[in-house]
Structure 1
Amino acid sequence: MTDFIEIKILCDEYFAEILQAELSNAGFDSFIDEEKGFSAYAAKDNYDSEAAKEIIERYSQMTSIEYKIGDVERKNWNEEWEKNYDPITVEDKCIVRASFHKPDKDYAYDIEINPKMSFGTGHHETTYLMLKHEMEIDFQDKSVLDAGCGTGILAIMAHKRGAEYVEAYDIDPWCEENSKENFGLNHCEDIIIRTGTVESLSFNKKFDIVLANINRNVLLAEMDSYINLMKAEATLMLSGFYTEDVPLIQEKAESLGLSFVKSSEKNNWVSAIFEKRQQ
């Protein structure tokens, strides 16, 4: 059974970064950089074929692009990421590695991730930025929700940072399976993980911190739902959007009663922190 769409793109390095940002809004959430371009992956249920083709055709007018679209089976993913997966470090404090890499005691936070077909290894700028911000705010004894958790990496960091209660969800059942495996690898088995969306799931508590690394369109559509799950003066950390999207994200957040705290940028990707104003 083929569950994912793969687009292999040959293009200039500069446009590769831009195309990845654009394709993230067409359902693609996993990317592998290659010598002369990259491969992008989208779950079939999330794939917007018209949007993807429009993006490629638009940028083909600006630069030379060759591409091939096909199906890919989940089971082939392990071979791909093992060939391309090197440990990454975040701010010299955190290392993200696979099971076949040796632990490194020089880092305060050692996160072991086997991503399978889920998004979130720290290699993508948005995951890196979210991990960076997680190391900058207080999680001690806090309740945390990881919205659209992918591999569960952000939930794992929250747990390692001292969160008292961590819950995570993703729309893809495969992410639930993969996250459970990663929680076990990192001794975080008490993290709650479910399959669904913020609208379809019911929550029996409010949270001190909500983490959402998804994409611009989903964040704009679901932000009010995140806020309804936040305690007074809670923190909302967002990523998955590009520099030019910041005004839209900030305007939406402030219209819903949030205050901007700070943001970080890496290769034009952004992570931003907001706080819920006291009513």
Structure 2
Amino acid sequence: MSNTIYIGYHFKISPLQPGVEILIAELGYAGFESFVETEAGATAYIQKEAWHAYILEDIQILNSDEFEITFEFNEIEQTNWNEEWEKNFNPIIVDDACSVRAPFHEKQNTTYDIVIEPKMSFGTGHHETTHMMIQHILKNDFNNKSVLDMGCGTGVLAILAELKGAKLLDAVDYDNWCYLNSLENVERNNCGNITVIEGDASVLKGKKYDVIIANINRNILLQDMKTYASCLNENGMLFLSGFYNDDILLIQTECEKHMLKFEEKLERNNWVSLKFLN
């Protein structure tokens, strides 16, 4: 690994938020494997062997009139990612009850103290959607519940659900990096009830849950809503995020088609998170 060559892309974005969060999410789907947010935007890294000249062609935000984005790129030797995270990843505290921090941070004085090594995986708690999902978990009863964390990223939501008393948990992500990262973070937090699964909604066939957490994106949520509804036990709770205020009508309409009843909305910087009941 010491001889691995990386390509580093250095982006400047205006407006910075939510531009940098959208860009990082899209770059992750394109194959970039590590990110560092900067004062002007973000730096993203991809292994040279996975890079190609058209790597940014499908990054929609680069063609959006809503954001002004410039970038340059260069070839670099492998970076010490832990050192980069140590400089740029700060602990977060949600509602004075849950902290999410890296191993190199001091222990936080909160009820739930979660330690993750985020690498490139989505879900540090810094993004609005993860923050709101943490709020939902803090406010609701997870004791002895069976839980699905769909699109688990770092596994942080499944980890918090177990800390809140959930007994049987599946954490699912189709991305191999997220799958491996979740395995590491589950072990790091001494969780014994979480099964990490690599795959998409097709792995849910025949499974049932009291609670489903899905922090993905609008299109995948709409595509998989029927599956979520079929997997949810009677009186079960469904928490959704990964979309904007303008998407609520689409999401709610699809939920109602499957007899899911709207219960609560959280909003943070135009991102939203919704709770539904079965």
> The TM-score by the shorter chain falls in which range?
0.7 to 0.9
Q: TM-score, normalised by structure 1?
A: 0.84
Residue 207 of structure 1 corresponds to which residue in structure 2? 209
| Aligned partner (choices 246, 249, 268) of residue 248 of structure 2 | 246
- 1:180 is the counterpart of 2:187: no
CA contact (8 A) 2:20 2:42 kept: no
Tell me, which stretches of 5 or more residues in structure 2 are unaligned?
Answer: none
Other structure's SS at 2:104 match: coil
Q: 1:175 to 1:72 in 2, by over 3 A?
A: farther
Residue 17 of structure 1 corresponds to which residue in structure 2? 18
Other structure's SS at 1:65 match: strand
Map 1:92-241 onto structure 2 (within 5 A): 92-104=96-108, 106-199=109-202, 201-241=203-243
Q: Deviations over 1:164-203 (max 9, x none)?
A: 211111112222221122112211033111111111x255
CA shift for structure 1 position 36 = 1.2
Residue 87 of structure 2 corresponds to which residue in structure 1? 83
Q: 1:74 to 1:172 in 2, by over 3 A?
A: farther
Q: TM-score, normalised by structure 2?
A: 0.84
Number of residue equivalences: 269
Distance 1:71 1:218 in 2: 34
CA shift for structure 1 position 68 = 3.7
Q: 1:51 to 1:271 in 2, by over 3 A?
A: same
How many percent identity over aligned positions? Answer: 43
Q: Deviations over 1:24-80 (max 9, x none)?
A: 4673798643111224679979x984441x432333xx6643124689999754343
- 1:55 is the counterpart of 2:61: yes
RMSD: 3.1
Residue 67 of structure 1 corresponds to which residue in structure 2? 71
Other structure's SS at 1:102 match: coil
Distance 2:238 2:46 in 1: 26
Q: Partner amino acid for 2:225? A: M
Q: 1:141 to 1:75 in 2, by over 3 A?
A: farther
Other structure's SS at 1:11 match: strand
Distance 1:63 1:114 in 2: 30
Distance 1:42 1:231 in 2: 41
CA shift for structure 1 position 91 = 0.6
Identify the range of structure 1 (208-217 vs 17-26) with the bigger mean alpha-carbon deviation.
17-26
